[in-house]
Amino acid sequence: MDDKIQGIVLQSIRYGDTSLIVRVYTRNYGLQSYMVKGAFNRGSKNRVALFQNMSLIHFVEASRPAKGTLKYLKDVQLTHVYQSIPFVMNKSAILMYVSELLTKTITEQEQNEALFDFIQRSMLWLDLVDERFANFPLFFTLEMTRHLGFYPKTNRQEGWCFDLMEGSFAHDFPVHPYYLDPDVAALLSQLLNLGVDEACQVPLKTSQRRDLLDKLIVFMRLHAPVMNDFHSHEVLKSVLE
């Protein structure tokens, strides 16, 4: 495995009758796109099941067949077979949310081992935990803002709001409408700088969790414009309690 590339499948698109184009976030080379020929053929080594969203894989990268065309994958294997995510509705909804969030925000074809390791570690945690994971989307979204460079400042004082445009808590309400009132800002403050285990232990009501997720999506949209066309959080809100 040492000579193979580690990757996380972010998206796969059917190409023709039997092939796929897959976007893979790799540990060594950032975001890459590959052609997978014959993925729908019976008996194919690179079968379509290997390229489900958020699959953790390792593979060998074949050379480009011609200038300007996509590279190919070979010797693809799963590094982890999800034990619970495909079979637990709430976890499957979280996977869909995480997949879309990453697809919208990761664009760099550059090595970022810290981000790769965070995503992989988070998905393994979600797969293995049995309960108390409803806050996971909040934790994951906040940590993505850290990796994208606009993590909220931890300067809250009692009664302060949170300015979504500035990314910081403030004594006075801003003149624009993009802010969290003091009650929601207090909930946000509880989640900052926590690990996933601690974040998922923070007691939140379903309504609070849904409201905060909505506000975090606004925060992402303000600082990452590619997030404008984003929908999976609506499905997520309907299943997480």
User: What domains can you pick out in the chain, each with its CATH number?
Assistant: 5-80 (2.40.50.140), 85-239 (1.20.1440.120)
Encoded tokens for 108? 């760099």
Instruction: Give the pLDDT confidence score for residue 45 in this predicted structure.
Output: 75
CA 99 to chain centre: 5
Q: SS in 3 state form for the chain?
A: CCCCEEEEEEEEEEECCCEEEEEEEECCCEEEEEEECCCCCCCCCCCHHHHCCCCEEEEEECCCCCCCCCEEEEEEEEEECCCCHHHCHHHHHHHHHHHHHHHHHCCCCCCCHHHHHHHHHHHHHHHHCCCCCCCHHHHHHHHHHHHHCCCCCCCCCCCCEEECCCCEEECCCCCCCCEECHHHHHHHHHHCCCCHHHHCCCCCCHHHHHHHHHHHHHHHHHHCHHHHCCCHHHHHHHHCC
The span from the CA of 94 to the CA of 106, in Å, is 18
The span from the CA of 95 to the CA of 156, in Å, is 31
Encoded tokens for 70? 């996509």
pLDDT in tens, the chain (241 residues): 457 999 999 999 988 888 889 999 999 999 999 988 877 887 777 788 899 999 999 999 886 555 567 888 888 999 999 999 999 999 999 999 999 999 989 988 889 999 999 999 999 999 999 999 999 999 999 999 999 999 999 999 999 999 999 999 999 999 999 999 999 999 999 999 999 999 999 999 999 999 999 999 999 989 987 666 767 667 676 666 5
- Which residues are CB-neighbours of 123 under 8 A, at least 6 positions away? 8, 54, 56, 85, 95, 98
How far are the Cα atoms of 54, 119, 170, 196, 222 from residue 124, in angstroms, in the given order? Answer: 11, 9, 36, 12, 30
Instruction: Give the pLDDT confidence score for residue 1 in this predicted structure.
Output: 47
Instruction: Give the pLDDT confidence score for residue 61 in this predicted structure.
Output: 86
User: Does the global pTM surpass 0.95?
Assistant: no
